[in-house]
Amino acid sequence: MTNPTIPGVLPREVHPEINPIYDSDTSDEETENTIGNVPLEWYDDFPHIGYDINGKKIMRPAKGDELDKFLAKMEDPDDWKTVEDEKTGKKIVLSKQELDMIRKIQGGDYADGYDPYEPYVDWYTSDVMVTPISAAPEPKSRFIPSKWEAKRIMKIVRAIRKGWIVPGKKKEEKPRFYALWDNNDEVEERPNHIPAPKLPLPENDMSYNPPAEYLPTEEEIEEWKKLDPEDRPKNYLPKKYSSLRAVPAYDKFIQERFERCLDLYLCPRVRKNKFQIDPESLIPKLPDPKDLQPFPSSLAITYKGHTGRVRSISVDPTGQWLASGSEDKTLRVWEVVTGRCLRIWKMEEPITNVSWNPNKMFSIISVVCGDIVKLINPLIASSEVQHNTDEFLKPHSEIEKSKHVEWVNPSTPEFNNGIRQVIKFEKNVTYLTWHRRGDYFATVSPDAASSAVLVHQITKRQTQSPFKKSKGLVQRVQFHPSKPFLFVATQNYVRIYNLVKQELIKKLQSGVKWISSMDIHPGGDNLIIGSYDKRLCWFDLDLSVKPYKTLRYHKYAIRNVCYHKKYPLFASCSDDGNINIFHGMVYNDMLQNPLIVPVKIIKAHEVTENLGVLNCEFHPIQPWIFTCGADTNIKLFS
């Protein structure tokens, strides 16, 4: 049969003739699965997939695993054109005509015998005739929401709220590829029970008759008793008994069993996989101390002369003179460079605190001895400075009576000796600190209750109590370097007060047992404290109320901490006889944290009667540090 060529019409492909017999009519072809047009998901949980014309079950054909599919794909050359019939589960190989049809559909080609460029015949006119049927007015129902749709939607919403309508289950995606060499086999989920850790086995020193090398000496026993319970390597001391009958009952048995029960009950158990980590990678990389010089490292001068413990030292603002107070009731002034003692004052009681006025225009030393504070002009500065000092300390008004203290004029012998003003307190004074301008100073009397902290003004001879009630046992006070803030350190907390607004600004949580000392960075945004439990805490006031860093390098109580006024240095001294020098760089960038690097440990003083270095202070200009200790000596390290 031929197909004549007609102009404008594509030639049509000639197909074989259809044999008009019964089996050739595909429209009447009977399917093997007679379940009809129903979802096949209904049969997912059954071993059969439907029923044949006789009502017998059509069993689901067996399916291999991923490995069988992979092998079949490699062996069967027609696998790429094989599809699976969903209703029967059988595999059907597509013919060439079917593949061509699929390829044309994917490529967007035209079907056979279709002419996309046929001439267009406009069977209907494009002009719309306006008639009452086509131009009828719109009904009102098209402009208002349907109440029936609203009722239907609310019915669905109520069903969702009550849980009657539940979204369908998500199908679990099976792995598309089979991991041949995978070691992580799927294990059935079992109860995640972790057994309790076993008790440690007894050691050799737990024997009732241990060898002699396991028995501690008297010195080791004393050292073990001085340590805190959490710092002791073992919670017992080995003992030796003549026989097993002489061994008494273990006195800590109930306590240890109780603590173990608490651990088993309260502490969660976790299985942790061991990771092979290089320990050096966990240590933060710090700069080399050699690159952070200058800092004090070696002994330069030793100042000898005191016969008792030197409790306090202070350097004048020019860095030329050094004042020291001792338990031998003497105040001494030294020349820093030569180590020569220039002046000596004899006091009534042991001296607990000595401090120079920070104003360079004056030369004033404040001395605390018992319940008396004396302001002294040492008469060693230039004549101009001495004149300014006497004019500054001269009373310009009548003495105002105060219920807290008593301002007393010195006697003639005292005045000739340089003593210009005397202040008597109700209780003993332990600490004194100056304001940066030199007209105000604050004192601490821990036993004075409500008047534990007092602020004094020299020019007016006036004393004020900034607090009506003391919150805790006050240890230290400090003025802010540039703002009207007062830092008050009690045993556990540091409170910051605004003296102008008379309000509490911030309360720092130290986390230590007993604060011993405090100092403020010259910038005013950082603070360090020392404690009797061997901890040094650095606070970033802009970061948090908790310590930014907690350092623990001393073996015994920390007596004092201090910042350098010019260099990025701070130090701490302890009863172990050492002073630790740290590099503490504070950046102007608020996003960068301070850099703290330990640079030097200096053995400064000998430990005498369990007391070591009692005070330390940096030179105001040079990278030097002064220390004093219980061995009656004062030392300069440069």
Q: Does 18 have pLDDT greater than 60?
A: no
Q: Does 380 have pLDDT greater than 50?
A: yes
* 120 within domain boundaries: no
* Structural domain containing residue 366: 293-637
Strands laid side by side in the 299-303 sheet: 299-303, 634-637, 625-629, 613-618
* 242 within domain boundaries: no
How far is 366 from 380, CA to CA, in rounded Å? 15
State the DSSP code for 221: H
Q: Which of 465, 400, 452, 456 is nearest to 433 (CA)?
A: 456
pLDDT at 5: 47
pLDDT category at 192 given cuts 50, 70, 90 is confident
pLDDT in tens, 320-334: 889 999 988 889 998
The least confident of 170-184, 263-277, 310-324 is 170-184
Q: Does 1 have pLDDT greater than 50?
A: no
* 452 within domain boundaries: yes
* 619 within domain boundaries: yes
pLDDT category at 401 given cuts 50, 70, 90 is low
* 137 within domain boundaries: no
Instruction: Indicate the average pLDDT of the chain.
Output: 84
pLDDT in tens, 427-461: 889 899 999 888 889 999 888 777 888 888 888 88
Q: Does 23 have pLDDT greater than 60?
A: no
pLDDT in tens, 470-486: 788 888 999 998 888 99
Q: Does 185 have pLDDT greater than 80?
A: no
- Pick the more confident residue, 10 or 262: 262
- The H or E element spanning position 157 is helix 147-161
Q: Does 382 have pLDDT greater than 70?
A: yes
* 78 within domain boundaries: no
pLDDT in tens, 542-592: 888 898 888 888 888 999 999 999 999 999 999 988 899 999 888 887 778
pLDDT in tens, 24-35: 545 445 677 888
Q: Does 490 have pLDDT greater than 60?
A: yes
pLDDT at 592: 81
Q: Does 8 have pLDDT greater than 80?
A: no
The tally of domains found in the chain comes to 1
* 399 within domain boundaries: yes
* Cβ neighbours for 374, distance < 8 A, ≥ 6 positions apart: 347, 366, 367, 410, 419, 421, 422, 423
pLDDT at 236: 87
- The CATH number that applies at residue 493 is 2.130.10.10
* 206 within domain boundaries: no
- Tell the residue number behind the tokens 């220390």, with chain if given: 627
- How big is the CA angle at 292 (ends 290 and 293), to the nearest 5 degrees? 75
